[in-house]
Amino acid sequence: MQKPNNWWHQIVVKSNPSERSAQGTVQNLNESPIVDSVSKGAWIIKFDKGQPDPDISKQFQDLAAEWASKDGGHLHKEIQFGTFDCALDLNICEKYNVKKFPSFLNILFGDVQSEVTGNFVKAEIESKADKMFEKKNFEYNPNVILDSKNFKQAIANETWFVKFYSPKCGFSKRLAPKWKKMAEDLHLDAKSKGIHFAEFDCLKDGDLCNEELVDGYPTLFLYNKRKQIEEYPGVNEYSDLVEYVGKLEKRFPQSVSENNSNDTSVVVEPKKTEVSTDKVPVTGEVKSLDIDSYEEMVKKEPMFIKFYSPTCIHCIEFAPNWIKLAQLLKGKVELYEVDCPQNTDFCNKQGINGYPTLKLVYKDKSLFYEESRDVELLYDFALDTTVQRIKQLNMTLYSEKFFSGEPLFVYLKGNAKESQFFENVKASVLNTFTGAMFYKTQDTQIEKSLLENFDPESPKLVALLDQEVITYKGGEDINSITEFINQHKTPYLEHMTALTQSKIRFKNNFVAILVLKDPVEGKLARDPAFGPMVEAISEFKKSPSASNGLSTGFAYTYQTEFSKLDSASSKLEFKTLPAVLIRSVTSNNYFQHGTDGKLIPLDKSGILSSLQDAFLGKLSDKPEVKKVEFETSKPQDEQVPSEQSVEIKGTSFLGKLVKVAMYIVAAVALLYVVAFVFRRLKRGRGRYYLPLFRG
């Protein structure tokens, strides 16, 4: 087996035989200055007292070997493993507050991040180690490692210079040491100016690379506040990269006061952005959360909490916006903050993986905020989710929501006076954190379009789900209303567009897609095709197929939207609409036909049986069906030419003309390839760049 080439895994082990393995990945820290060792990098350390349990030692060694192996999937995490016997030095164990044995501590640059005590629980140890890596990755690494889970959140703020690569590509390997040196030399100064370096492995997350229009390796893209600005135009050499980064500060100047430049209510001096600040500034509106009183406080009112680290530059830069938000929300929504390095256990229980993290909590519900940290967006999120503000629904907005597929809850007030029913509806919306979906209206035109039985004298609550209007008919108590909202807040079918398709594809092996005719402006009527699709989904979720290990999604789209999804969808033609397709995400094929060669029927049994055939690999795509039909459709009186006639035809004038035409086509194709390579070289790929077409 090839050894990992990452230097952080080449650990020299001086341990007793019970802790040694062929890989040599666990270090005996009794034989080295443990405090000095763990002050450098990230560690998982097993503390024992006396003779260790051989079974637990083996499990710990196996975990270390798995993380160090080439196929373990953890090569990039830079986490070292060690053991320490407290019987030999009790003072060290007291320093790290180790009281139970064995104890597994996650230590980052000398600071304890989390602890697992008692029996070896692999999942818990790995989970906490992953959180430690995320902190190290975003706060300390010169070159941040991105994946499909953290990519969009990471690039949402400031400027990011991202390398998209394949570990098997020779050109990516040639760039790697130059990129690493550039990031290590420049990252401290660049980070202080809001510029970050990162890399993305396209071999692991090809879908996102396709979405970002990566057509060759390596590709270097520049992002500013989520927007892709440009592809790096220079040569992939250290000096050229450094020169390019040096120009970014002037192009994208960053400052803490950037988002407050048009507001005079908070004056922020640039000096407050210095990393040396001991503590993030706090005003009277931003309160430090009392951890001991948290369980009681969360039952009484919604709380918007910021989890931060005082040394995190993103936290320091975000602090003025948080203060401004607290001032705007004063008396409406309470804001709190938690210093996670001082409250590690609490932050771990809250699922905090990085800083700053914003989370809205109330009773047993919680909701992470993962969008841009602009004050205006945060303000809208807090007010809407906590129902401190209720949006009014008009006909234009209703039409937009109807076709978007977003779930909607509407309180139809009509001519009725405010009642206890409305107050209970608001309480239920708050309990379910569905404030972003909640609207109120007195527009009788909307009520007429929603309901067949128009009665403006009595208030009503309706849900719009999968283009179907569902009227609440239960009691006025909060529990019944809450149950209704929970039942109808998640659509059966997701709306698939060019923007949402990557998310739908990423989480599914197969997707059943309902393709509809383009909507007619002004016509707000549910397409009857939704009915059998919803019935099929309900039946599917109850069937054994739903738990066969193959994740299956259901979506709908309109004809024009479908043609813009990808190159494969743009080539498909439909004889009739609506139609049902099965998409295999792994093969990237769309299946219109069942095993009988006919179009997939738009009914419950037809959809379910076609899905089952797709799981078994029995479906074939349309081009194959067309080919069979074409080959078997020649006239009965057509004479098959003999070998002699074929030979004569090949040497005829017409045959020679066809041969010359083929040579011309081949020459044109060759010229196109040469032109394509030349164009890529002009864009600075390097003299050895090999173009790769997008799949």
What does the pLDDT look like over 382-433, one tens digit per residue?
999 998 888 888 878 877 777 777 788 988 887 777 778 888 998 999 988 8
Residue 645 has pLDDT above 80, yes or no: no
Do residues 132 and 206 lie in contact, with contact meaning Cβ atoms separated by under 8 Å?
A: no
* Lookup result for tokens 């498909």: 572
- Average pLDDT rounded to a whole number, residues 619-628: 50
Tokens, residue 309: 């680290």
Q: Please give the residue range of the domain that contains residue 556.
A: 494-628
Position 49 in a domain = yes
Of 419, 585, 401, nearest in space to 502 by CA: 585
Residues 459 and 567 in one domain: no
Residue 31 has pLDDT above 80, yes or no: no
Of 104, 134, 164, which marks where a domain is finished? 134
Residue 81 has pLDDT above 70, yes or no: yes
Residues 483 and 584 in one domain: no
pLDDT band for 276, please (50, 70, 90 cuts): very low
Of 445, 465, 487, which marks where a domain is finished? 487
Residue 306 has pLDDT above 80, yes or no: yes
Note the pLDDT of residue 213: 87
pLDDT band for 170, please (50, 70, 90 cuts): confident
Residues 331 and 451 in one domain: no
Residues 375 and 464 in one domain: no
State CA 482 to chain mean position distance: 29
Residues 192 and 109 in one domain: no
If one compares 400 and 639, the residue with the highest pLDDT of the two is 400
Residues 396 and 380 in one domain: no
Portion of the chain with pLDDT greater than 70, in percent: 82
Q: What's the per-residue H, E or C state across 56-68?
A: HHHHHHHHHHHHH
Residues 622 and 678 in one domain: no
The kind and range of the H/E element at 220 are strand 219-224
Do residues 181 and 241 lie in contact, with contact meaning Cβ atoms separated by under 8 Å?
A: no
- Average pLDDT rounded to a whole number, residues 175-189: 90
Residues 456 and 361 in one domain: no
If one compares 173 and 418, the residue with the highest pLDDT of the two is 173
Residue 268 has pLDDT above 70, yes or no: no
If one compares 483 and 519, the residue with the highest pLDDT of the two is 483
Q: What is the CATH number of the domain that holds 194?
A: 3.40.30.10
Note the pLDDT of residue 302: 93
DSSP count for the chain of H helices, then E strands: 25, 25
Position 691 in a domain = no
Residues 499 and 615 in one domain: yes
- Average pLDDT rounded to a whole number, residues 196-222: 90
Position 281 in a domain = yes
If one compares 575 and 259, the residue with the highest pLDDT of the two is 575
Least confident of 218-222, 640-644, 663-667: 640-644
Helix (H, G, I), strand (E, B) or coil at 352: coil
- Average pLDDT rounded to a whole number, residues 612-636: 56
Residues 301 and 246 in one domain: no
Residue 594 has pLDDT above 70, yes or no: yes
Question: Where do the DSSP E strands lie in 549-620?
Answer: 552-558, 579-584, 589-591
- Average pLDDT rounded to a whole number, residues 111-138: 83
Note the pLDDT of residue 258: 42
Residue 640 has pLDDT above 70, yes or no: no
pLDDT band for 254, please (50, 70, 90 cuts): low
Note the pLDDT of residue 69: 64
- Average pLDDT rounded to a whole number, residues 467-471: 83
Q: How far, in Å, CA of 116 to CA of 102, rounded?
A: 9
Q: How many domains, the chain?
A: 6
- Average pLDDT rounded to a whole number, residues 290-308: 91
Do residues 436 and 367 lie in contact, with contact meaning Cβ atoms separated by under 8 Å?
A: no
Position 643 in a domain = no
Of 468, 487, 506, which marks where a domain is finished? 487
Residue 178 has pLDDT above 50, yes or no: yes
Cβ atoms within 10 Å, residue 529: 18
Position 139 in a domain = no
Which amino acid is it at 529? A
Position 210 in a domain = yes
Position 437 in a domain = yes
Residues 434 and 454 in one domain: yes
Mean of pLDDT over the chain: 78
Residues 216 and 236 in one domain: yes
Q: How far, in Å, CA of 458 to CA of 465, rounded?
A: 22
Position 31 in a domain = yes
Which amino acid is it at 125? I
- Order of strands across the sheet with 357-362? 286-288, 334-339, 303-308, 357-362, 365-369
